[in-house]
């Protein structure tokens, strides 16, 4: 390495060159997530127009060449000459970082985008981009190649309408993945339509002859969102409680409903951004909800044994959306998904107290139903205090004693450790003998765990198999879950390839989704794929994992004597076979469990694992034709 370090070594990246040089700094990554982020940045500008009251329809089209069109009926990007740069404002917005209408606090009061960086970033990271603007009774256009204008902006016709149309093709020199996913984009558009009442988002896929199309429009906004979340659940009120409050530059919207089961489902947003880790808006709401319900508990004098309800009691079965819109949001937390504005807590708290108190006073029947549910929760908590203490006392989950059935690994660094959750003692015995003891732990479970969708936390914690898992993982459960204390960064569900194995896997997935969702969000949960068959011929053993692989391989063995074995259970494999096919990182196939769309996941678990029979029957009828392998 040369020791000569002078001014000549200092590089200045001009304009959009910095974005192309370090794209991850601006859009997070150059993988599939970064690719979709380009679309979000453009549509966020259209949503900002809607928030300012100037746009009600947005159309997004995926074209055959995988380019994207985003068109809105907003005011249109300004096209007049910028006083400082002496170039059209349209060109400035698309070629200068931190140029836009988000900084003067007049054009846009709130914004969900990258504050003037988004559109120019998309331009910089696109192979080509074309923009058309309808404004001032005329139409204007300009095109770019990798962020550089092809020519000056031109006027090309007249129009009585206003709006902006942007068409771009992501640069394959930048992105690892070039193809957009319809469902991923649709999830975000549905969310935006819920959060912005009255905005219609039309989404079309023109990549195939019979392409998909969806239209998202929810006049009820977040009330419709809560109703959507409660579709497959039994609610205790006629309709959700909703209120909206404006305080200085902060707009607060809250919609809540109570369901008959026990899971709490809360989604929080700041400027349309999903704050998965909560923050000050959620803290303010929780505090206010507990206070208001306790105030009414004192008025009603329900039960002398329950003088006060805890936060857990009042939120059991709560389904809610909190959306705040703020001029200068501050995000914190590991993934920047936590709202940090301190002033928001007090504003949400006072707005919630005021509006809930008024609602409860106007509807005593509703408050009675809510109080009865909260009191049932408190009674269950008091009746099963020992089980509840498992989530309260750290030493119960963080002590040195590990469950006896756990065969732990010798490695202690969590990022190097993996644990296999195995069905039954037979498979557990083979796995224990076949594993690499250095970094692989084995936890055999006896039978099927409790269906957590239908049980309170107290009952869940009295289930021995669930307690064993919590203790083995070492990170707690529910709101007490601490990812820093997780003992394994690969948690692998390994069940048999039969109906019972599938059911156990579904029960485990339900448990992780409801009580340890961060394990899924952080990419720590996997499903092992043991082979379906072994094919032995000519002193050679081959393993295949699907019926198609089996048929294809057997087709190459005409006239050869073979021995075909179908594995119904992991216990049928000896330790060496289990290591070779399912445990060995060099050979095994693992499926990572992802949660791209938590709202859809919420619905599916509620339908399949909940109490309501009719939604489950409808789901089975609607999806029966999609079943490929039916084990009868």
Q: Annotated catalytic sites, by residue? A: 423, 496, 498, 500
The residue to which tokens 């200085």 are assigned: 248
Task: In whole angstroms, give the CA distance from residue 396 to residue 390.
Answer: 6
Task: In whole angstroms, give the CA distance from residue 232 to residue 453.
Answer: 13
The number of residues in the chain equals 632
Is residue 181 a contact partner of residue 36, using CB atoms and an 8 Å limit?
yes
The residue to which tokens 């499903």 are assigned: 527
Is 208 strand, coil or helix? Answer: coil
Task: In whole angstroms, give the CA distance from residue 314 to residue 367.
Answer: 12
Residues 6+ apart with CB under 8 A from 497: 530, 532, 567, 568, 569
Task: In whole angstroms, give the CA distance from residue 33 to residue 187.
Answer: 13
> What's the token pair of residue 586?
């060099």
Whole-angstrom CA distances from 148 to 124, 141, 152, 154, 608 are 8, 14, 11, 16, 52
Is residue 264 a contact partner of residue 322, using CB atoms and an 8 Å limit?
no
> For every residue of 152-200, which 3-state class applies, written as one string?
CCEEEEECCCCEEEEEEEECCCCCCCCCCCHHHHHHHHHHHHHHCCCCE
> What's the token pair of residue 115?
């504050």
Is 44 strand, coil or helix? Answer: helix
- Centre a 10 Å sphere on the Cβ of residue 400 and count the other Cβ atoms it contains: 5
**Helix H or strand E encompassing 122:** helix 118-124
Q: 194-212: string of b/e by CB count within 10 Å (b at 16+)? A: bbbbebbbbbbbebeeeee
């Amino acid at each position: 390495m040369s020791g000569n370090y002078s001014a000549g070594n200092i590089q200045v990246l001009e304009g959009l060159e910095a974005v192309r040089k370090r794209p991850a700094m601006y859009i997070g990554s150059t993988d599939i997530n970064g690719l979709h982020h380009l679309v979000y940045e453009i549509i966020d500008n259209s949503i900002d127009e809607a928030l300012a009251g100037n746009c009600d329809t947005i159309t997004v089209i995926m074209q055959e060449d995988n380019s994207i069109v985003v068109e809105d009926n907003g005011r249109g990007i300004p096209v007049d000459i910028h006083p400082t740069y002496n170039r059209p404002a349209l060109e400035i917005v698309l070629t200068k970082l931190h140029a836009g209408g988000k900084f003067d606090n007049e054009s846009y009061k709130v914004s969900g985008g990258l504050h003037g960086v988004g559109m120019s970033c998309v331009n910089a990271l696109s192979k080509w981009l074309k923009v058309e603007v309808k404004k001032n009774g005329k139409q204007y256009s300009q095109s770019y190649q990798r962020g550089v204008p092809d020519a000056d902006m031109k006027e090309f016709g007249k129009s009585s309408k206003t709006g902006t149309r942007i068409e771009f093709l992501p640069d394959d020199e930048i992105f690892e993945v070039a193809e957009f996913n319809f469902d991923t984009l649709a999830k975000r558009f549905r969310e935006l339509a819920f959060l912005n009442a009255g905005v219609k988002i039309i989404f079309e896929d023109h990549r195939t002859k019979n392409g998909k199309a969806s239209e998202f429009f929810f006049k009820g906004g977040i009330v419709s969102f809560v109703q959507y979340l409660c579709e497959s659940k039994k609610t205790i009120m006629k309709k959700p409680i909703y209120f909206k409050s404006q305080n200085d530059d902060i707009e607060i919207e809250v919609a809540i409903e109570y369901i008959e089961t026990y899971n709490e489902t809360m989604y929080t947003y700041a400027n349309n951004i999903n704050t998965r880790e909560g923050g000050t808006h959620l803290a303010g709401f929780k505090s206010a909800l507990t206070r208001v319900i306790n105030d009414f508990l004192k008025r009603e004098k329900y039960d002398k044994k329950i003088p006060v309800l805890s936060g857990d009691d009042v939120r059991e079965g709560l389904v809610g959306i909190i959306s705040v819109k703020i001029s200068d949001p501050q995000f914190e937390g590991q993934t920047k998904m936590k709202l940090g504005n301190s002033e928001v807590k007090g504003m949400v708290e006072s707005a919630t107290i005021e509006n809930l108190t008024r609602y409860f006073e106007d509807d005593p029947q509703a408050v009675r139903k809510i109080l009865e549910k909260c009191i049932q929760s408190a009674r269950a908590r008091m009746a099963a205090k020992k089980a509840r203490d498992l989530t309260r006392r750290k030493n119960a989950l963080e002590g040195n004693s590990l469950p006896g059935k756990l065969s732990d690994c010798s490695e202690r660094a969590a990022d190097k450790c993996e644990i296999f959750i195995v069905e039954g003692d037979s498979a557990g015995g083979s796995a224990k003998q076949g594993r690499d003891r250095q970094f692989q732990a084995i936890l055999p479970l006896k039978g099927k765990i409790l269906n957590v969708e239908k049980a309170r936390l107290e009952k869940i914690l009295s289930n021995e198999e669930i307690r064993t898992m919590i203790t083995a993982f070492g990170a707690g459960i529910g709101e007490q879950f601490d990812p820093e204390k997780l003992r394994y960064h690969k948690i692998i569900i390994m069940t048999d390839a039969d109906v019972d194995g599938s059911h156990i896997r579904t029960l485990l997935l339900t448990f992780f989704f409801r009580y340890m969702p961060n394990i899924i969000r952080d990419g720590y949960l996997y499903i092992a794929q043991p082979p379906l068959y072994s094919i032995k011929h000519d002193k050679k053993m081959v393993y295949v994992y699907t019926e198609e692989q089996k048929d294809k391989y057997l087709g190459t063995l005409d006239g050869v004597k073979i021995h075909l074995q179908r594995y119904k259970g992991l216990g049928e494999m000896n330790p060496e076979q289990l290591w070779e096919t399912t445990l060995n990182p060099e050979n095994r196939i693992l499926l990572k469990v992802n949660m791209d769309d938590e709202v859809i996941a919420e619905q599916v678990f509620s339908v399949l694992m909940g109490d309501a029979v009719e939604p489950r029957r409808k789901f089975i009828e609607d999806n029966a034709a999609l079943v490929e392998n039916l084990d009868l």
